[in-house]
Structure 1
Amino acid sequence: MGKFIYDGNQKVEIEDRALHHLQVVITTKLRRGEPFLFTWREDASVGGGRSSVWISAVSDLVFKYASPGQADLNRHWIEALAFTANAPTGLYLVHEPDGAAKAEPGQPAHAYS
């Protein structure tokens, strides 16, 4: 289980594979100069509910992974996450679509429209 850490004090545990896909979407949006809202559900162990943070180029972000290797990327999942990030409600974690389409070697995984 990895961690997404925002501005050093807001932390959420996210499974490594999902975190890797979120990292691709988040960094792509920031490279494009597109700030956005990121929302997640809190675990019941910390009181439940949900949290949202505004992510921009000045945000301090850390993606901390439990495993040393990188997960294979699923283009369809990246596109689904990017769709939410571009919506008025902002980025939130959606389930990985069935029929995974892996990014091909040599092609950037963040090359989505």
Structure 2
Amino acid sequence: MGRLIYDGEHRPIVLDDRTLAHLKVVVTTKLRRHEGFTMSWRHPDNQPRGRSTIWLHPSIPLKFIFDAPEPPELNQRWIQDLMDSANSSGGIALVDEVIDGPQ
């Protein structure tokens, strides 16, 4: 499981490495453009029910930590789905990966 450390928080946001790798592409793209936005997610099963939202901005420290030493192969469709979400008024919602099957 990977971790996203936001603004020096002691409790990281825990995500699987694959999700975090895709999220990193979208977040760094937005921040490189100096665009602030929100990110929302549902709490995992091992936490109290609910959801959280954070404001991401280039001036707020952010650190991505991966357990796996090698990055996964990226799914461009998932990156686009996350980017579309990031560009909406609601900000990034951690949507599930869609894998295209054989045609």
Task: Give the alignment's TM-score, normalised by structure 2.
Answer: 0.90
- Residues in 1 aligned to 2:58 and 2:36: alpha-carbon distance in whole angstroms: 7
Q: State the Cα deviation string for residues 1-31 of structure 1 (Å, max 9, x = none).
A: 1111111215211010110000000000011
Aligned twin of 1:56 = 57
- Residues in 2 aligned to 1:71 and 1:43: alpha-carbon distance in whole angstroms: 22
| Deviation larger for 49-58 or 7-16 | 7-16
| 1:43 Cα offset (Å) | 2.0
Paired residues, what number?
100
| 1:44 Cα offset (Å) | 3.6
- Residues in 2 aligned to 1:49 and 1:11: alpha-carbon distance in whole angstroms: 16
8 A Cα contact 1:37 1:85, kept in partner: yes
Q: RMSD value over aligned CA atoms?
A: 1.3
- Residues in 2 aligned to 1:45 and 1:99: alpha-carbon distance in whole angstroms: 30
- Residues in 1 aligned to 2:45 and 2:13: alpha-carbon distance in whole angstroms: 12
What percent identity do the matched residue pairs reach? Answer: 41
Aligned twin of 2:2 = 2
Matched, 1:46 2:34: no
Aligned twin of 2:24 = 23
8 A Cα contact 1:12 1:42, kept in partner: no
8 A Cα contact 1:37 1:90, kept in partner: yes
* Structure 1, gaps ≥5 residues long: 101-113
Aligned twin of 1:108 = none
Letter of the structure 2 residue corresponding to residue 3 of structure 1 = R
Task: Give the alignment's TM-score, normalised by structure 1.
Answer: 0.83
Structure 2 SS opposite 1:78: helix
Runs ≥4 residues deviating over 3 A: none
Letter of the structure 1 residue corresponding to residue 83 of structure 2 = A
